[in-house]
Structure 1
Amino acid sequence: MPANINPTVRRRRLGAELRRLRKASDLTSAQVAERLLVSQPKISLLENGHRAISPRDVRDLCELYGVTDRQVIDSLMRMARESGQQGWWNTYGNIPNSVYIGLETDASSIHTYEPMVIPDLLQTPAYAHAVIETTVPPIPAQQADARLKVRLRRQHRIYDPARPLRLWVVLDEPALHRVVGRPDIMREQLEHLNALSAEPHITVQVLPYTAGAHPGRQGQFSVLRFADSPEAGMVYLERFTSDLYLKKPSEVQQYSMMYDHLQARALSPEGTRDFVTDVTKSHIDVASRP
């Protein structure tokens, strides 16, 4: 599969186009399901990009929607074939958050709030390894190594000179103090964080204890935007057993507003770098003790 093809994104785009065609034909998803003798949930899954769709399904839907343009049909069927292929991350075996990885790969910008640890895209190899080691239940060393390789490869997005990811990060202060691995690993990680935060396409802000109670008390979340539909967006909530993906405009707007409030309460990017430098010194002091 060509390197620039992202099956997750192909499914999402194909589903959105099929939804548009269905609405243009003035049909409900229940009516489509009844005419094609399939379940209504199947139609919803296809339109939301949560299920791969076969070229045959595309052909049947196009016929039902009255699509006669051969170029349009061929384009949709090509997307269907590509959406059934695997992303690069699938070659590493059973990797969690695979749906999110596909979306992250295609995102033009991500606003993320993290209260507990440094976000995946900004982690050093040693820090990432220490985080993965805490997986419950424990996983075999070979599987842990695969997850580490996937995490480090995901970071290519923020180093891509042709299409760098625009990344905003709000970190709650505990993430800086929590010793992941060892104090020397934390020192290296915080120095790495400060170096990355100086990049023009990466913004990092710390939410200090002095900010008091704030809207992020419910936990981690990320707001993703895409170049092909910047007005839409998606909210990602990472959970222990089942991640959540919110697409309703009202939900995306609510989380975007929450993020704006968190940024307003956080330290400035410049103030954050000074703050991180001071915390780094405390880890150096601990690491140097006999």
Structure 2
Amino acid sequence: MVRRRVLARQLRALREDADLTLEQAAPKLDFSVSKLSRIENAQVLIDVHWVKSMLDLYDVGGARWTELVELAREAQQPGWWRAYGLGNVSYIAFETEASHVKVFTLGYVPGLLQTADYARALMRAVPVRRTGQQLENEVAARLYRQQRLRSAEHPLELESVIDEAVLHRPVGGPEVLREQLAELVAAAELPTVTLRVLPLAAGAHAALASEFNILTFDGLDEPDMAYVEHTLGALSLDKEGDVARARLTFERLVSQALDPARSLDLIRELAGG
């Protein structure tokens, strides 16, 4: 999805550089205006042959032609999560391409920091029908995502603020929670992870209504996006005003949270060691 968006934005810019309107370019490509508009807004999967025709029309050649055709091929590749039987999971697609993720959670440990047993208990609590195999596939996919926190080639930087209540909620039972807290201690020592706890003593704060993520895509010319997950679904936001509010909210949470060292001390204390 991210590469499709990058490609779509570049194709739109090339059309505009060629001084062609949608109405002028579409018939030359044997497209309807609405089809070309959907392509330029990343609303459809872009065929490589379409891209070649568009580049020829816009008089793009050489290394630029090769680069964009290759990007079109990459945008067509199925995501790694398909191997786990997962469908079109938009958040995973965005996270896979992100370089940095800021996460605030109210009710549970962030997915990138969950143990298998903790994740399994969370999924069982949600009223979604799954077979046993589907459940295990989703848990395995969640653990696969975590590998990027330890990857040297394609690392993901995680900055997380966790509400202190999360550290007391016995998801899966007391033993599962203890193991989860121990995993948080280990994860907090990774160079890619910055973990803060928002103490209960902070009282009212800017994100009492919902948790949220902010994703950054360095090197892809893709704007930051905010992602809000709630009980009945999820919402992705990429308008600059929305993302700016999300950044400001996260900064306020950081200002109220314990610093990483004190947060780690609290987690160790609750983990019993």
Tell me the alpha carbon deviations over residues 175-218 of structure 1, each in whole angstroms, 9 at most, x when there is no partner: 11111101000001011101211222211111112112111123
Shift of 1:63: 4.1
CA distance in structure 1 between the aligned counterparts of 2:103 and 2:118, rounded to whole angstroms: 19
Distance 1:27 1:221, change over 3 A: farther
Aligned length: 272
DSSP-derived class of the 1:243 partner: strand
CA distance in structure 2 between the aligned counterparts of 1:63 and 1:221, rounded to whole angstroms: 42
Q: Note the residue ranges of structure 1 that are not aligned, 5 or more in a row.
A: 1-7, 285-290
Distance 1:213 1:193, change over 3 A: same
Tell me the alpha carbon deviations over residues 230-269 of structure 1, each in whole angstroms, 9 at most, x when there is no partner: 7821112224454322222222222111111110011111
CA distance in structure 2 between the aligned counterparts of 1:233 and 1:44, rounded to whole angstroms: 23
- Contact 1:157–1:164 under 8 Å retained in 2: yes
Aligned residue among 13, 37, 45 for 1:20: 13
* Aligned counterparts, 1:50-199, within 5 A: 50-64=43-57, 66-95=58-87, 98-199=89-190
Q: Kindly provide the amino acid, as one letter, of the partner of residue 69 in structure 1.
A: G
DSSP-derived class of the 2:207 partner: helix
- Contact 2:22–2:36 under 8 Å retained in 1: yes
CA distance in structure 2 between the aligned counterparts of 1:218 and 1:29, rounded to whole angstroms: 42
2:237 is equivalent to residue 246 of structure 1: yes
1:264 aligns to what? 255
Aligned residue among 27, 32, 53 for 1:38: 32
Which region of structure 1 is more displaced relative to structure 2, 76-85 or 151-160?
A: 76-85
1:226 aligns to what? 217
Distance 1:204 1:55, change over 3 A: same
- Contact 2:6–2:221 under 8 Å retained in 1: no
2:197 aligns to what? 206
2:7 is equivalent to residue 11 of structure 1: no
Q: Note the residue ranges of structure 2 that are not aligned, 5 or more in a row.
A: none
DSSP-derived class of the 2:161 partner: strand
Distance 1:261 1:231, change over 3 A: farther
Shift of 1:45: 4.4
Shift of 1:15: 1.7
Which region of structure 1 is more displaced relative to structure 2, 74-83 or 84-93?
A: 74-83
Q: Kindly provide the amino acid, as one letter, of the partner of residue 74 in structure 2.
A: E
DSSP-derived class of the 1:105 partner: helix
CA distance in structure 2 between the aligned counterparts of 1:146 and 1:10, rounded to whole angstroms: 25
CA distance in structure 2 between the aligned counterparts of 1:166 and 1:196, rounded to whole angstroms: 12
Shift of 1:89: 0.8
Distance 1:73 1:122, change over 3 A: same
Which region of structure 1 is more displaced relative to structure 2, 124-133 or 270-279?
A: 270-279
Shift of 1:122: 0.4
1:288 aligns to what? none
Q: Give the aligned CA root-mean-square deviation in angstroms.
A: 2.4
DSSP-derived class of the 1:233 partner: strand
Which region of structure 1 is more displaced relative to structure 2, 148-157 or 214-223?
A: 214-223
CA distance in structure 1 between the aligned counterparts of 2:184 and 2:143, rounded to whole angstroms: 15
CA distance in structure 2 between the aligned counterparts of 1:192 and 1:62, rounded to whole angstroms: 50
Shift of 1:115: 0.7
DSSP-derived class of the 1:223 partner: strand
TM-score (norm 2): 0.89
